[in-house]
Structure 1
Amino acid sequence: MNAPSRPAETVTPYRFTYDDVLRMVEAGILAADARIELIEGELISVSPESVPHVRCRRWLTQFFTRRLAEGQWEVNSDAPVRLDDQTAPEPDIAIFSSAVHDRDLKGGDIVLAIEVSVSSQAFDLGRKAELYAAAGVQEYWVVDLTGKRLIVHREPTAGGYRSVWEEGARGGVAPKAFPHLDVRVAELPLTD
């Protein structure tokens, strides 16, 4: 006995835009402090931050804020970056010129984006790295708290970053935009 067959369904998921998300926040559908990112039209739930994650993000924010010329550079922490109409990730840190207003910020304006990674490493090194590169984010770092390493991405292209390498506990790196600011991996608060 054969089971009756059903016609194939064609289901197209709805893709949200950045403006849709803003309207949902304004209408109270989404909380303003909701832990989500808009990635290619999808609302992606973001894991709660661990204590080591918060400590490392705070250390990096203070490191750059104290050393970059006030009024020339913005060091945004946990603010959405609109890469296109359907993608607005929230890097742990995004550094860009003070001449660019937050609402006009594009990927190519960001000289350094940093993600502190505990449980989201595959996403941060995969899909998110591809999105940042395609949007022209000039340099992208992933701080791997578990592996105690820093993965550096440079030379963005539409297909990804051409230059990717890692620095271990004995290494360090200076951002291309700020060659005088050497960040030593051993100095980062990578554990409790």
Structure 2
Amino acid sequence: MTVANAGFEERGDSEFLFDFDQFERMDQAGVFDGVQGHVELIEGKIIQMAPASTDHGEISGDIFYALKSASIAAGVEKLHRFIVHATLKIGKRSAPEPDVLVLKADEGGKYAQAEQAVLVVEVSISTRENDLTVKSRLYARGGVPEYWVVEPETRKLTIFREPRPDGTWTSTTVLEGEGSAVSPLFAPQISIPLTELF
């Protein structure tokens, strides 16, 4: 005869989903100290990300500089905040750390919120599949108006625009080639050559 605790059933494999408050408390308690790379909360799951290479860091910096410089030249930089590697809260169960984040300047807080974002950029060197699927759905459901996946090895930029609540996008454009340039939705008057992103 098998005896089980009242209220518990055998369910096989299951997973425990965390919310952002739990994730933050674990971080503050040092749970993630010593973890190589960094951790992200994605749809309630804590995901260990690989350490960023120097190429990844350099390209993230180049994208940040290209966006900010073009915005300064156009006189629109004071309308936005340009950030590298910051937590972006999306709902209660997700907190990715995009490589570059552009926010509305008039809103603050300890963590960036999805509704503040005007552009999210991921540099995709070893994370292409994840960036084009999991992250793409996550940012669309969060209502981020524009999402870029920069692939320096193939010199390609995928632009997602007009998010839908189901995690898809109305518009997806792929740019490649030396003569291509991109104009972000938050400042359509600026034009950034792809060569400045790679």
TM-score by length of 2: 0.84
Hey, what does 2:4 align to over in structure 1?
Answer: none
Hey, what does 1:38 align to over in structure 2?
Answer: 41
User: For 1:127-142, what aligned pairs fall within 5 Å after superposition?
Assistant: 127-142=134-149
Give distance in 1, aligned partners of 2:103 and 2:53: 26
Please, which runs of 5 or more residues in structure 2 have no aligned partner?
Answer: 1-8
User: For 1:27-106, what aligned pairs fall within 5 Å after superposition?
Assistant: 27-31=29-33, 35-68=38-71, 69-103=76-110, 105-106=112-113
**Does structure 1 residue 152 correspond to structure 2 residue 152?**
no
Give distance in 1, aligned partners of 2:152 and 2:92: 31
Secondary structure at the residue paired with 2:187? coil
Instruction: Give the drift of 1:104.
Output: 6.4
Secondary structure at the residue paired with 1:123? helix
User: For 1:159-170, what aligned pairs fall within 5 Å after superposition?
Assistant: 159=166, 160-170=168-178
Q: Taking every aligned residue pair, what percent have the same amino acid on both sides?
A: 28
Give distance in 2, aligned partners of 1:130 and 1:143: 17
- Could you report, residue by residue, the CA deviation over 1:48-99 in whole angstroms, capped at 9, with x for unpaired residues? 2122211111011122233434543111110110001110111101111111
Give the conservation status (yes or no) of the 8 Å contact 2:87–2:112: no
Aligned residues: 183
Letter in structure 2 aligned against 1:132:
Y
User: For 1:6-17, what aligned pairs fall within 5 Å after superposition?
Assistant: 9-17=11-19
Hey, what does 2:186 align to over in structure 1?
Answer: 177
TM-score by length of 1: 0.87
Q: Flag as ranges the 4+ runs of structure 1 deviating above 6 A.
A: none
Secondary structure at the residue paired with 2:94? coil
Give distance in 1, aligned partners of 2:45 and 2:105: 30
Secondary structure at the residue paired with 2:157? strand
- Could you report, residue by residue, the CA deviation over 1:4-43 in whole angstroms, capped at 9, with x for unpaired residues? xxx9743431111111111112212123985111001111
Q: 1:105 to 1:32 in 2, by over 3 A?
A: farther
Secondary structure at the residue paired with 1:22? helix
Letter in structure 1 aligned against 2:47:
I
Please, which runs of 5 or more residues in structure 1 have no aligned partner?
Answer: 1-6
Give distance in 2, aligned partners of 1:32 and 1:163: 40
Give distance in 2, aligned partners of 1:80 and 1:66: 23
Give distance in 2, aligned partners of 1:135 and 1:124: 15
Give the conservation status (yes or no) of the 8 Å contact 1:108–1:138: no
